[in-house]
Chains A and B, each alone.
Chain A
Amino acid sequence: MVQEDLNMNEGDHPNMQAQPEEATSSTPDQQAPAPTAEDLAPPESSSPVEQFDFYMQRADKSRQGGDLSAAQAAMEEAGKVLEESPGDFDLTHFIDFDELSDEITQRDEQQEESASAPENRRSRLAGMFDRARSIVDQQRSRLQGDGSKRILEMGEQKLKLVHGKAAGAYDAAAGKFDRGIKGLSNNFEIAKLYIQIIKHERNLGRLEAMKTKASARIDELQKQYSERQQSIKDSYRKESETQSYFEEAERLRNLAEAATLPGYSETLVNMAEHLEKLGNNAVEVAANQELKDLNTETTDIWRELKGNLDFYTEQAEQLEDQIGDLRNEAQTHLNNATNLQKFVQRIREATGKNEAAEAIPVVPDVATTEAATAEEATASTANENEEQPPSRSSRLRELRERFFPIKN
């Protein structure tokens, strides 16, 4: 039996060959027949080779039935038999064992792979979706980046335009600022003139105070002089020598009135007059000294006043020069204004020749008003003094009328 089995196992084991027909006719979906009692274990009297064949057939049957767990369990039993009595088996048994074991393992792997296929597909789909979404996101991001770049470029271009306009506005403002500074500079010159005038006024006030003081001093001197004169006269009259002159003269006059001798009376009067003259001379000598002192004082005051008068005369002359400069400068600015208006008129005329009548459409109301004003000014200029320039607007005209009234 063993030999038969061995012969048969050399390539054509009867049990092993019978089963593949069944296996080829069956499908994994077909239900394997329920195992019977004899299917579960070999007969106890069987040899190891028979046991091995039993388990091998059972394993193969289970494999074909799709019950891989049962097939693997049978293979384990077959393996145990091989391990327990390896000497009872030849190489073909081992080869059959390995082949069937491999088949079962492969089938198991296929089954596991098959069982997990939907999940794998879902996973792969999910991966593909994720990858696709990533690609879409990348593409969208790239597109958005390009869009942002284009928007940024447009923004930058617009910003450049705005910056250019802002720079122009800044330059214009800077120009107006510079012109304003020049105007302030002119106003500063005017302010300096005002300050100079104020200084002169202060000096004038000082001179007025000096005048008052000098007048009071002169009045006082006059009073002192009169009093002194009287005092001198009285003093000299009272002095013994001077007094004696006047007393003797009075006595001689009294004698002359009483004299009866011819010519005696005239002689006495002449003597009296001579004595009075001597007395008066003595008074005059003293008075002249006082007068000399008084002259000195008044001369000092007069010199001081004259110095002030000279100073103010010089200041007045300088002011008159400055006034002349101011009037010339005012006339220069007025000429500028007149010629600037003529310049504007020429530009408008040139623009009107080259372009439509509605030139300068940005501020048509201002342009219209100004053009009309310019025309009126031109018409009126022909009938008026040629130096009177055309006025741009009512404001300008008001300014002109205020500062430079029209003279026919």
Chain B
Amino acid sequence: MTKQDVHQMLAEIELTDDVRQNVTEVINSFANEELTEDEVAELVEYLDLAAENEVVLAGALKEAADLADQYVTDMDRNQEDLTANTIGNMHDTLVQATTLAD
């Protein structure tokens, strides 16, 4: 397998630019055009690690999103309670005052 083969396969898959750049650099780091079995194994190992890293990152981001989502939900509920209580109290007071005035 040659580096050209690997580059060709890389070009056919969809990746973000940063990850694609990293993979390209790893492929180019091999000395010869024809990759040895050890070099192919090294490349596969790197790609596996990169994939794992991407999954971990995705998981961390999803956790953060879930946490923020929960927070916004809680905040909305608190705002509703706060609004209802505060404005409700004010409303009662005003109604009472208005009734008295009438």
Binding site for B on A (CB under 8 A): 168, 171-172, 175-176, 178-179, 182-183, 186-187, 190, 193-194, 197, 200-201, 204, 207-208, 211, 214-215, 218-219, 221-222, 225, 229, 284, 287-288, 291, 294-295, 298, 301-302, 305, 309, 312-313, 315-316, 319-320, 322-323, 326-327, 329-344, 346-348, 350-351, 354-355, 359-363, 366-367, 370, 392-393, 395-396, 399-400, 402-404
Complex-state Cα separation, A38 to B28, whole angstroms: 118
Closest to A320 in B: B72
B75-101 CB mask vs A (1 if < 8 Å, else 0) is: 110110011011101101110111011
Are B18 and A182 in touch, CB under 8 angstroms? yes
Smallest beta-carbon distance A328→chain B, Å: 9
- Knowing that A172-B46, A395-B52, A399-B56 are A-B contacts, what are 5 other residue pairs whose CB atoms are under 8 Å apart, sorted by A's residue number? A291-B101, A301-B90, A336-B19, A360-B37, A362-B42
Residues of B contacting A171 in the complex (Cβ-Cβ under 8 angstroms): 29
Decide if B4 is an interface residue (CB 8 Å cutoff): no
Are A403 and B54 in touch, CB under 8 angstroms? no
Binding site for A on B (CB under 8 A): 1, 5-6, 9-10, 13-16, 18-19, 22-23, 25-26, 29, 37-38, 40-65, 67-69, 71-72, 75-76, 78-79, 82-83, 85-87, 89-90, 92-94, 96-98, 100-101
Residues of B contacting A404 in the complex (Cβ-Cβ under 8 angstroms): 58-59, 62
Smallest beta-carbon distance B95→chain A, Å: 11
Most buried by A among B37, B55, B97: B55
Q: List 5 A-B contacts (CB under 8 A).
A: A172-B46, A175-B22, A175-B26, A320-B72, A399-B59
From the candidates B40, B64, B65, B83, name the one contacting A359 in the complex (CB within 8 A).
Answer: B40
Complex-state Cα separation, A394 to B54, whole angstroms: 16
Q: Please count the residue pairs between chain A and chain B whose beta carbons lie under 8 angstroms apart in the complex.
A: 230
Are A225 and B64 in touch, CB under 8 angstroms? no
Complex-state Cα separation, A376 to B38, whole angstroms: 25
Residues of B contacting A201 in the complex (Cβ-Cβ under 8 angstroms): 71
Are A222 and B93 in touch, CB under 8 angstroms? yes
Complex-state Cα separation, A365 to B60, whole angstroms: 30
Residues of B contacting A340 in the complex (Cβ-Cβ under 8 angstroms): 13, 15, 19, 23, 47-48, 50-51, 54
Residues of A contacting B60 in the complex (Cβ-Cβ under 8 angstroms): 186-187, 190
Residues of B contacting A346 in the complex (Cβ-Cβ under 8 angstroms): 9
Q: Given that A363-B45, A392-B48, A396-B52 are known contacts, is A312 also in contact with B79, CB under 8 Å in the complex?
A: yes
Complex-state Cα separation, A200 to B57, whole angstroms: 24
Closest to A400 in B: B55
